Chain A
Amino acid sequence: MAEVDTAVIKPEMMKSYIWLQTADGSIQEVEQEVAMFCPLICDEIIQRGMGSSKNNAITLPQRVNPVMLSLVLDYCRFHQVIGRSNKERKSFDEKFIRMDTKRLCELTSAADSLQLKPLVDLTSRALARMIEGKTPEEIRETFHLPDDLTEEEKLEPLKNITDDPRIRLLNRLYARKRKELKERERLKNVEVEEECVDYRSVDDLLSFINGGNEDSKGVGTSKNKKKNRRRKDQQKNTSSNHAIETTHKKESNCLKSVHHDVEINNNLQSSPSERSKLQDIQDDMFSPQANFEDGDIDDEFDPAIQEKIDREVEDFERILNSDWPERMQEILSLGRERKPINGNGSLSRDG
């Protein structure tokens, strides 16, 4: 397991010891073979010749206090023995990891500073298990996290990036593509659904670009709340699934108006958010929801407007061409032309 550099010659009879100093100033002696299991200490010994005496004790990183050092060394002492079976090691790890959360976090930090990757992975996995499948309140309680996000911030999962025209265009193209796909779907289906009810694909975009509700809880949310409740009831309305018509007009309206009332999660908005499981939150967060101002809702799908929007999108597409690598364009248009795409250029993402 450990890539211990065997250039260090160990006396056959006696174990050699190494001196380590923790941030609080205390110095201790540790068996060399155990300490060498930590890459950082290994480097100090071999490359810098440190640790051979009390005077040139190896100074350990700040995050390694005596308690943590003791734990780390326990881990090293067990795992540096070569003959152990995988079963034994796993069994040891399972018992070793049983400690309170605070200690687990400190140990992760200490192991990380000593570059002891197997221990970092072990503790990280344990911490991940404490997060997986829990509600936000449960997680906050486990780790004593402050509940310092505003309601808007909780609704807005990401930075506000409305300003980036590329993202906006990306979203348009996605929406357009999705609309095409849904149209294909619809053609397959017998029933023709109502067109004006569902704006899912647009919401979908908005839930990312525009972020949370422009209207904070206190101001003019009654409309939204009403829609929330209505939508909640409508959640079971599956008919709208098949007939998702993107109304580009709404799209452009909403994109232009910043922070338009996007309901990412009606559950979240009314305090039950805290009670709902993380799973549900995620579902709702990214699910498209109908939530436009009344003024926008009544639009039928006007072919003339559609044309206009198409032209607009095409214009943007041309602009896009000059900004982005061609490859990205191909992805967005989801064209199936089998042009060999050379190389594997990276998608330039400037944050």
Chain B
Amino acid sequence: MGSEYEESRDIISNLPDELLCHILSFLPTKFAVGTSILSKRWRYLWASVPILDFDDELWLNPSTLVELEERIIMFQNFVDGVLRHSEVSCIKKFRLGYRDNNLDSVYSWICIALERRVQELDLHLLIDWGVELPPMFFICKTLVVVKLSCALFLDIPTTVWLPSLKALHLKSVEYSDDDSIQKLLSGCPVLEELVIEREERDNQWVVNVSNPSLKILRIFFFTDGFAHPYEQEDQDYKVVVDAPNLEYLSITDYLSKDYFVKDLPSLVKAFIDVEQDSEEFEESPHNGGISYHGPIYELLGRISNVKCLSLTGVTLDVSFLCPPILPTFHNMTCLEFLFIGGFNWDFLPNFLHSSPNLEALVIETVCKYPM
């Protein structure tokens, strides 16, 4: 009765291979591979899991005594080994978290993933200098989602063709010049979502986002707290957006000075969190007084057809001296203010007057900025 009884209790192993692989796909690859010593049934399952998730954090366990270098080598060997023996010819997702400066490994791993028709590529690198992407990355037919984070140097080749790419996240990436982002976007015919998290000194003065299919755009740009060499330069950071199909726009940007936004007829929701220069005040004959004509209000003018607008206290902060001239928000049904600390009621009447169809007004005090 012994083994039969046990067998009858081993329900999970009766699940079909696909289901077991599906379960394993939710695990970091390290643990998925570990199941190979559980029992006969589980021995080779991991090799068919189409999701590869490597994070060297799981190897850099400070509680064990093995030295860091050894750990890194173990990790590299592990990734090499898994890639060699995985039987998956179409990788659904390849995720890599890596913080060693041995870039050759990374380069070859990316190549292998691309060769195996990877659909989602998620690279999170914490290294001292940029790793370059292989040329085949820029002409990969299968990539649908790409997330690049930290210290990747994007030297965009002349030919970019990513026919399946729908979502692109660029975080803390260093570019070769002002045209980088645009060169990249011009080769993405079906791109729907673009998220750019910038850092200073990433070689982009003008972020030029121009793409006909784009629906969601998020820009993040903070100061990193260090001394700003750009302050000595005459150049200002600027943002240019030309995306006629854009439905959602989110800008959290404390460094750019100008925003040039072309018409966004499809815009549904916008979140604006920008810091304004107090030097934008000027005399205005209209009101017989001082008024504010900063870029932020031009921006608001360009997105005046939006349905839901969220503004932060930082955005509105500068205008405490005088009421701004607002466009009329014909379509706006929902207006949201997010503040840290106190709320300045001065321009609320202006907004209410400019929003004839407003249905909901939300005022929220938050502890953190929403991302």
Contacts and interface: CB of A to CB of B under 8 A. Distances in A.
Contacts of B77: 204, 286-288
Contact of A132 (B14, B27, B61, B112): B27
B65 interface: yes
A331 B84 CA distance: 13
A124 B80 contact: no
Interface residues of B, number: 73
A170 B15 contact: no
A105 B34 contact: no
Given A136-B38, A204-B77, A181 B102 contact: yes
B42 to A, nearest CB: 7
Nearest to A207: B81
Contacts of B107: 334
B15 A238 contact: no
Contacts of A317: none
Given A331-B112, A340-B159, A149 B37 contact: yes
Given A158-B85, A279-B61, A286 B69 contact: no
A212 to B, nearest CB: 11
Interface string B161-194: 0000000000000000000000000000000000
B26 A146 contact: no
A24 B159 CA distance: 61
B6 interface: yes
Contact of A158 (B16, B22, B41, B47): B47
A281 to B, nearest CB: 6
A109 B15 contact: yes
Given A147-B39, A334-B107, A349-B89, A124 B6 contact: no
Contact of A174 (B70, B80, B87): B80
B371 interface: no
Contact of B70 (A128, A154, A287): A287
Contact of A157 (B36, B58, B64): B36
B26 A328 contact: no
B3 interface: yes
Contacts of B11: 101-102, 105-106, 143-144
Interface in A105-131: 105-106, 108-109, 112, 120, 124-125, 127-129, 131
A345 interface: yes
Nearest to A347: B115
A343 B14 CA distance: 40
A146 B43 CA distance: 12
Nearest to A201: B77
Given A283-B74, A287-B73, A145 B117 contact: no
B362 to A, nearest CB: 16
A278 interface: yes
Interface stretch (B137-145, B204-212, B218-226, B351-359): B137-145
A338 B156 CA distance: 12
Contacts of A101: 11-12
B182 to A, nearest CB: 20
B9 A144 contact: yes
Interface residues of A, number: 77
Interface string B8-42: 01111111100100111111101101111111111
Interface string B42-66: 1110010000000000110100111
Contacts of A159: 44
A181 to B, nearest CB: 6
B24 to A, nearest CB: 7
Contacts of B114: 344
B293 interface: no
Contacts of B66: 235-236, 283
A323 interface: no
B87 A331 contact: no
Contacts of B39: 140, 145-149
Contacts of B6: 144, 146
B37 A341 contact: no
A127 B12 contact: yes
A125 B26 contact: yes
B111 interface: yes
Interface string B296-323: 0000000000000000000000000000
Residue with the highest number of chain A CB atoms closer than 10 Å, among B65, B85, B159: B85
Contact of A282 (B14, B24, B33, B41): B33
A331 B78 contact: no
B37 A157 contact: yes
Interface in A302-347: 327-328, 330-331, 334, 338-347
A286 B78 contact: yes
Contacts of B14: 105, 109
Contacts of A248: none
A18 to B, nearest CB: 26
Nearest to B47: A158
Contact of B23 (A124, A170, A340): A124
B238 interface: no
Interface in A196-232: 200, 204, 207-208
Contact of A133 (B12, B31, B64, B116): B31
Contacts of A139: 35, 38
A146 B135 CA distance: 48
Given A120-B19, A145-B10, A146-B6, 18 more contacts: A102-B9, A112-B19, A124-B26, A127-B12, A127-B23, A132-B27, A143-B11, A144-B11, A145-B12, A146-B10, A149-B40, A268-B37, A281-B34, A283-B71, A287-B77, A331-B111, A338-B157, A344-B140
Interface of B: 3, 6-7, 9-16, 19, 22-28, 30-31, 33-44, 47, 58-59, 61, 64-67, 69-71, 73-74, 77-78, 80-81, 84-85, 87, 89-90, 102, 104, 107-108, 111-112, 114-117, 135-136, 139-142, 157, 159
Interface of A: 101-102, 105-106, 108-109, 112, 120, 124-125, 127-129, 131-133, 136, 139-140, 143-149, 153-154, 157-159, 161, 167, 170-171, 174, 177, 181, 200, 204, 207-208, 235-236, 238, 241-242, 268, 273, 278-283, 285-288, 327-328, 330-331, 334, 338-349, 351
Closest 4 A-B residue pairs measured CB to CB?
A128-B26, A144-B9, A278-B34, A105-B11
